[in-house]
Amino acid sequence: MIEVNSPVFWDKQYKNGNDRWNLNNAVPVFVQLLEEEKFITPSKLLILGSGKGYEAIFAAKKGYEVSAIDFSSEAINFSKNLAKDNNVKINFLQEDFFDLASLHPGEFDYIFEYVSICAVQPEKRKELLENIHAALKPGGRFISLLFPLNERRGGPPFSINLPEFYTMAKSIFKPSYFSRVIPSIKPRKNNEVLLIFTKGSNGKKS
């Protein structure tokens, strides 16, 4: 059995057309965040679990210095071709999320994730958050469009218990923003929430 923490698992999903988490466009919440420039402004941004690259390309067009990380070579190769077609420069990283702390310490102003936390096993979420924290600059922000919040069994995507996740994240970051009033796509309405956390200015955990 191929495990979800193997790139082979994710390559297989893309090859078989099972990447239904991809919207084939930048997710509306991300678009709104960048257009409003309320919580995020052009600087050094990492897209976590970048998939086919639509968020990365949108951000690059908005003037961000974008890095995009994904476990899957299939996703990265698709993204590279899409970026070339859109004439944008993006630093694509085919790497493991759990290597962020060792490979990219204190590198990014912002890290954005959507359908990445739900892709890892629940028992590994705190380790992932610690890696995200380590990869941010002091004062940097972690932006999560958290999904799915239902009580589905199995995974991926693995369901997320919001109070439990929030408590876990709050032990590492400073909470900055929370909203359910977001432009979700219809099938995911009321099943996701926007969370923004900030790394302490001294670089330490909360």
Q: What is the CATH number of the domain that holds 72?
A: 3.40.50.150
What is the chain's mean pLDDT, rounded?
90
pLDDT at 153 over 90: no
**Has residue 1 been placed in a domain?**
no
Domain count for the chain, please give it: 1
Which pTM was predicted? Answer: 0.90
Q: Confidence band (pLDDT; 50, 70, 90) for 1?
A: very low
Report the pLDDT value the prediction gives residue 10, as an integer from 0 to 100. 58
**Has residue 48 been placed in a domain?**
yes
**Has residue 205 been placed in a domain?**
no
Check: CB of residue 161 under 8 Å from CB of residue 168: no
pLDDT at 175 over 90: yes
CA neighbours closer than 13 Å in the CB half-sphere of residue 154: 1
**Has residue 85 been placed in a domain?**
yes
Specify the DSSP class assigned to residue 206.
-
**Has residue 182 been placed in a domain?**
yes
Least confident of 13-17, 60-64, 73-77: 13-17
Check: CB of residue 140 under 8 Å from CB of residue 198: yes
* Domain of 187, in residue numbers: 7-198
Query: For residue 66, what are the contacts with CB-CB under 8 A and spacing of at least 6?
Result: 45, 46, 47, 56, 59, 60, 88, 90, 91
Q: Quick one: CA torsion of 148, 154, 55, 138, rounded to 10 degrees?
A: 80
Overall average pLDDT of the 126-141 stretch: 98
Q: Confidence band (pLDDT; 50, 70, 90) for 135?
A: very high
**Has residue 204 been placed in a domain?**
no
Overall average pLDDT of the 133-159 stretch: 91
